[in-house]
Chains A and B, each alone.
Chain A
Amino acid sequence: MTHNWKQSTEWRAIKAFLKFFFITLLASAMFVPFIWMICTAFKPANEVEMLNFIPHAAKTENFSLVLRLIPDSLSGKFLNIHLFKWIFNSIFVASWVTVLQVTTSSLAAFAFSRIKWKFRNQIFMMYLATMMIPGMILTIPKFQIMVSMNLVNTYTGLILPAAFSAFGTFMLRQFMLGIPLSYDEAAEIDGASWLQIYLDIILPLTKPGLITLAIFTFLGNYRNLMWPLITIKDEALKTVPVGLLSLQGSYQSQTELLMAATMICIIPLIIMFIIMQKKLVRGINLGGGVKE
């Protein structure tokens, strides 16, 4: 009896409804601060400190101001904001870092997970260990290395240090460990080299891991503040977070302008996320090179 009931369409529909209901409420609750951000972007300056979400006197001037469509009413000058240039710089840097980091990390992760060699675990432990030093304390030595390599205030100086990551290596290693070793062995019997095993078997099977790392790396570098803040002096090379910070400083932290600018700057991130996350679905693992 119970078995039949659990298989019935009604029970499934109720379950699906409850799931929808629960997840909708939770997602909405998580979304509230973001809504607050949007609301603040439409607020006049005197309402920013108030607790109401919907502005009493909503206005779109904040957006026009940060997009330099209209001049500031007090000084009559356009704000010193270059959103599109900042967004371009951020996308440019983040894309390069993502491509390089996913490549180098997946190669290293392959060596740490699929091939057996002496001192493998010791060298891997060394990788892990470097993550345990607070990054803050490493910024100044890192900066000095950049100075000696003449890379301060360049795109390369932003991209290169971020292109090699212990985090990415560790993460992909964990994904690769989940793939049965018998796949490699079968391929080897067929005469495949390590490079072929990497390209034809491991990479397709780690796709969710690669996509996840790409999401993390892109987002993390798009909004990384500390490193660009230290190394970039040139106005033309500023990335989004550095630009937004200067906005906060030079206009006496006008929160409503900051929120309007932030909203415009995260649009590329949202689009990127929506496209990438679509690839994270069940059952893609056997769609690649291996069929049983």
Chain B
Amino acid sequence: MRLWEGRREKRDFFAAMGFLLPNLIGFLAFTAGPVLLSLYMSFTNWSLKKSIPLKWIGFRNYTDLFSDGDFWFYFYNTGYFMLGIPLAVGGSLFLANILVDSMRIKVDKTRSRLALITAVVGFLNCAFFIVAGWNDAALFVGIVFLAAFFGVLFGTTTYRTMFYIPSFASGVATMILWMQIFNPEQGLLNNLLYYIVPVGTQLPEWLISTDNLLGFLPLPAHFNSSGFGFGAREAILIMGFWMGIGGNNMILYIASISNIPDSLYEAADIDGAGGFAKFWHITVPSVAATTFFISIMSIIGGLQGGFQMAKIMTNGGPTGTTTTLAYYIFTEGFDELRLGFASSVSWVLFLIVFGATMIQWKYGNKQSEA
């Protein structure tokens, strides 16, 4: 088998190898090695318990996996959470499209005047609420006006930072807060809903309820999917949407949009295209490569996701309805110490992700082959 034909291709091949090598060496050592080892281990009874000797057991882990039915239940849960992905990605693109411009008011005089007005009005509002004794209300009003104040002064930087900080500040703190928000009696959400829905409506019990929006589907009994409504899964979907929209995807889209040549937009201006037309016919196609990247990473991340939320907020419950495959792998591998079995779950998951990615690749990667 020849790797090249002629001098030109030979030169290119060695050039490519030169560029690839620094990464490839590390990749083979620290990623490919462990990956192959975990494949081998999935055919053994590998356990973290010292008393159990390592033994080759063939396909037993895999047959166990498919016979006990839990796998499909957790797979269904994982898929359920992934339904929120398209919405979150769309939201990120929408935000990025706004936040890519500097938004800073160019005229110094107008800017400082506006900032002053915002500050004064904000201060008066806050003072009013403090005098009235509503400290928390004063705080929220204060945040809004402070955001507006800094927004007027520094433009997008303010908003980008505000959107992005929560996604890295503290995962645990954020989840504890959402647990309080979802509290059926004292939580912020139900207290708000109480005023919105008609009197006497049963309010959702969120994290402790197995109700879900697909509860009407005729699923096997052990899926614990009874009841149509809002439950633990929806609670986690809402939180996931909130966390995902302003995070890494938003930054990626900002970077990608900022890379679009201005000349494209100028040409559209001459043609008299409106804001939405420009977004739809220039921005969206121009960021296709990034969208492809985000959708692949979302599938990979989604199928491996839900671990932290299950660990901190629900312990996978109620009755397993928020246990995702990642949490299943964790409990089997590190609570039950059955690493061999956990490896086999990982590899079945791998095959599913790989299949999904191949489909994506076939339909979403056209541009890459240009």
- Report the Cα distance A134→B178, complex, angstroms: 26
Question: Which residue of B15, B162, B256 is within 8 Å of A30 (Cβ)?
Answer: B162
B286 — which chain A residues lie within 8 A by C-beta?
A: 178
**In the bound complex, do residue A137 and residue B343 qualify as a contact, i.e. CB atoms below 8 Å apart?**
yes
Q: Contact residue range for chain B?
A: 35 or more
Flag whether A94 is at the interface (Cβ < 8 A): no
Question: Which residue of B174, B326, B347 is within 8 Å of A136 (Cβ)?
Answer: B326
- Report the Cα distance A127→B339, complex, angstroms: 24
| Chain A residue nearest in CB terms to B173 | A37
**In the bound complex, do residue B261 and residue A285 qualify as a contact, i.e. CB atoms below 8 Å apart?**
yes
Flag whether A186 is at the interface (Cβ < 8 A): no
- Report the Cα distance A177→B41, complex, angstroms: 38
Q: Restricting to A158-204, which residues have a CB under 8 Å from any CB of B?
A: 160-161, 163-164, 166-167, 169-171, 174-175, 177-178, 181, 194, 198
- Report the Cα distance A215→B175, complex, angstroms: 23
- Report the Cα distance A112→B365, complex, angstroms: 14
**In the bound complex, do residue A129 and residue B354 qualify as a contact, i.e. CB atoms below 8 Å apart?**
yes
A215 — which chain B residues lie within 8 A by C-beta?
A: 251
| Chain B residue nearest in CB terms to A210 | B255
- Report the Cα distance A28→B159, complex, angstroms: 9
- Report the Cα distance A126→B32, complex, angstroms: 9
- Report the Cα distance A266→B37, complex, angstroms: 36
Contacts A107-B23, A208-B259, A281-B258 given: A175-B289 contact, CB under 8 Å?
Answer: yes
A240 to chain B, nearest CB (A): 11
A97 to chain B, nearest CB (A): 12
Flag whether A278 is at the interface (Cβ < 8 A): yes
- Report the Cα distance A219→B30, complex, angstroms: 21
B22 — which chain A residues lie within 8 A by C-beta?
A: 103-104, 107-108, 164
B-contact 0/1 string along A35-52, CB 8 Å cutoff: 111011000000000011
B278 to chain A, nearest CB (A): 13
24 contacts between A and B (CB under 8 A): A3-B272, A30-B162, A30-B166, A31-B143, A31-B147, A32-B177, A37-B173, A51-B180, A51-B188, A104-B22, A115-B12, A130-B27, A130-B32, A132-B349, A164-B22, A171-B293, A175-B255, A208-B255, A255-B176, A269-B168, A277-B161, A280-B255, A281-B102, A286-B262
Residues of A participating in the B interface, judged by any CB pair closer than 8 Å: 3, 19-20, 23-28, 30-37, 39-40, 51-54, 103-105, 107-108, 110-113, 115-120, 123, 125-138, 140-142, 144-145, 160-161, 163-164, 166-167, 169-171, 174-175, 177-178, 181, 194, 198, 205, 208-209, 211-212, 215-216, 219, 223, 255, 258-259, 262, 266, 269-270, 273-274, 277-278, 280-286
